[in-house]
Copies of this chain bind each other. A is one copy, B any other.
Amino acid sequence: MGWMTDETGLEKREANYVPLTPLSHLNRAREVFADREAIVYGNIRQTYAEYHARVTRLASALSKRGVASGDVVATALPNLPAQAEAHFGVPACGAVLNTINTRLDSSTVTYIFEHGGAKVILCDTQFLPMVEASKAACAGGGPEIIEVPDAQAGYPATGRHPTYEQLLEDGDPDAPWQMPQDEWESLALNYTSGTTGRPKGVVYHHRGAYLMTMGTVVSWRMQLFPKFLAIVPLFHCNGWNHTWMMPVLGGTVHCCRDVTADAIYTAVAEEGVTHFGGAPIVLNMLVNASDTARKPFDQQVEVFTAGAPPAPATLQKIETLGFNVTQVYGLTETYGHVTESLWNPDWDAQPDDAKPALKARQGVAMPMMEYVTVVDAQNTQVPMDASAQGEIVMRGNAVMKGYYKNPAATQEAFEGGHFHSGDIAVQHPDGHIQIADRAKDIIISGGENVSSVEVEGVLMSHPAVSLCAVVAKPDDKWGEVPCAFIELKAGAKATQEEMIAHARAHLAGFKTPKAIVFQELPKTSTGKIQKFELRDVAKAL
């Protein structure tokens, strides 16, 4: 430990120790990038000076309304300017931001209101009925609703609640911000999607969000003045913290309310968007877009994708269109992405058809992480042989404080000194990790482990397949057999026999699906396929 023999007078002081917080980024941007564009949405264009002033008004107005330090302020918003402003304005009054998934059912939202204890919610007009119902069912009366109308998208104010602009009117654009005194103070409260049981409230610290932004600059090859299209919902890991990052770079956040191929191509071609993130389903959307939706553009667009391993076939197609895709991996508990499929320039020499497989790996630890590795049940690293499976665990500054009001679950998640992801992976000899399966997604057929990801990859390479999911189907003889659910491309046709033959041509017999179901796949708000629903269907076949 590097303490010198005499450290008199060398203690931390105001001058040399500033608690890390993404709020500092926006304060600096107001000075350094005052006249540059910060936010764009339809006919709304704000400079950093304007953005900062609106954020300050929001913080000041919330304080005046009785929101105190450590109180929770919720949002139920699409990716609108108000959602970006809340990312700074809520913590700037010392409060904790609780972005709520707008696609949840109202009983879950009632649970979140009661558990998180939000005092105020900023709610988009489209989601008012759900939020009003949730509030009505709240034991404690629930949060005060501030309505955020979006007239240009067809959602004018209902008149039932004070509006967001009225709230800002109450705020003082010169009020001082309440900066954290300790970088471990709470910044955000994000409920997990909770495929089983009640969602858990993940608490972020200011320090982690700051370091997340700095590490992402490196991983995403960001330079000054990027134009970032906000596709990943800001209620999902705070949009992977990208809104907090933009002021470091003087970048512009282009808000995207409705995620369509047309909206994305337009933003890229007409606004010069340089970066966006999205689940593989977004990549599929771009690859399968109609000719009228596609627009030509010159810049290379850097795309982060996560949520599920993208199919090699999709990767191969999208890169010819001008998008450079990097797969990243993470969880709500890790502020979003903490690994990246970091491309080694030596691989440029690999044959073209070998490249997607390299990119389909979840990769290596991002710069703000101390490590991400794969361990066995004894907490020992598994051999880096691309075959031994274990659980992905990580240690670093972009890991949550824990679960709100749930010390038992927190303790369990942090067992052994690192965070347990619950995801099963192998580690390649070059250190890159690759998800074999979610623990519960492994199919055990005749004593052999079948990776649903591998089977899905093969099915996705069939030209008619748009999306697919493979789950276990109980079987008298084998215990379990793989069962595939397939969503076909618009206008495409295929039969069960054709699909099974295609799979068999690339897979061992025990890995080949024994049943194929053509249907639309059930998805969570973040584009993850809800396999638990499919398992029920498979069981009943």
Q: Which of B15, B20, B403 contacts A395 (CB 8 A)?
A: B15
- Chain A: interface secondary structure? loop
Q: Report how far A31 CA is from B394 CA in the complex, Å.
A: 14
Q: Report how far A24 CA is from B276 CA in the complex, Å.
A: 28
A206 at the binding interface (Cβ < 8 Å): yes
- CB <8 Å contact, B25 and A367: yes
A270 at the binding interface (Cβ < 8 Å): no
> Which one of A55-63, A127-135, A232-240, A413-421 contacts B?
A413-421
- CB <8 Å contact, B410 and A3: no
Q: Report how far A369 CA is from B419 CA in the complex, Å.
A: 31
Expressed in whole angstroms, the minimum distance between the Cβ of A362 and any Cβ of chain B is 13
Expressed in whole angstroms, the minimum distance between the Cβ of A141 and any Cβ of chain B is 16
Residues from chain B with a CB closer than 8 A to the CB of A12 are 184
Q: Which of B9, B20, B28, B70 contacts A410 (CB 8 A)?
A: B9
CB-CB contacts of A357-385 with B at 8 A, as 1s and 0s? 00000001101011100000000000000
A387 at the binding interface (Cβ < 8 Å): no
Expressed in whole angstroms, the minimum distance between the Cβ of A89 and any Cβ of chain B is 13
Residues from chain B with a CB closer than 8 A to the CB of A371 are 28, 31
Q: Quick one: given A24-B370, A184-B12, are A2 and B206 in contact (CB under 8 Å)?
A: yes
Q: Report how far A186 CA is from B7 CA in the complex, Å.
A: 9
- CB <8 Å contact, B17 and A397: yes
Residues from chain B with a CB closer than 8 A to the CB of A507 are none
Residues from chain B with a CB closer than 8 A to the CB of A211 are 20, 214
> Which one of A159-167, A219-227, A509-517, A531-539 contacts B?
A219-227
- CB <8 Å contact, A404 and B6: yes
Q: Quick one: given A15-B414, A35-B346, are A5 and B94 in contact (CB under 8 Å)?
A: no
- CB <8 Å contact, A2 and B414: no
Q: Report how far A104 CA is from B51 CA in the complex, Å.
A: 51
Residues from chain B with a CB closer than 8 A to the CB of A1 are 69-70, 94, 178, 180-182, 185
Q: Report how far A404 CA is from B17 CA in the complex, Å.
A: 18
Residues from chain B with a CB closer than 8 A to the CB of A203 are 4, 10
- CB <8 Å contact, A2 and B69: yes
Count of chain A residues with a beta carbon within 8 Å of a chain B beta carbon: 93
A328 at the binding interface (Cβ < 8 Å): no
Q: Report how far A248 CA is from B364 CA in the complex, Å.
A: 13
Expressed in whole angstroms, the minimum distance between the Cβ of A310 and any Cβ of chain B is 21
- CB <8 Å contact, A186 and B406: no
Restricting to A177-195, which residues have a CB under 8 Å from any CB of B? Answer: 178, 180-182, 184-187, 189
Q: Which of B10, B214, B221 contacts A402 (CB 8 A)?
A: B10
- With contacts A9-B402, A10-B402, A17-B184 known, what are 19 further pairs, Cβ within 8 A? A1-B178, A1-B180, A2-B186, A6-B405, A7-B186, A9-B403, A9-B407, A10-B186, A10-B401, A10-B410, A14-B417, A16-B208, A16-B414, A18-B397, A28-B370, A28-B371, A32-B342, A36-B344, A221-B224
Q: List 27 A-B contacts (CB under 8 A).
A: A1-B180, A1-B182, A2-B94, A2-B95, A2-B186, A2-B206, A3-B185, A4-B189, A4-B203, A5-B70, A9-B403, A9-B407, A10-B203, A10-B402, A15-B395, A15-B399, A16-B208, A20-B211, A28-B365, A28-B367, A32-B342, A35-B346, A211-B214, A218-B222, A218-B248, A223-B223, A225-B345
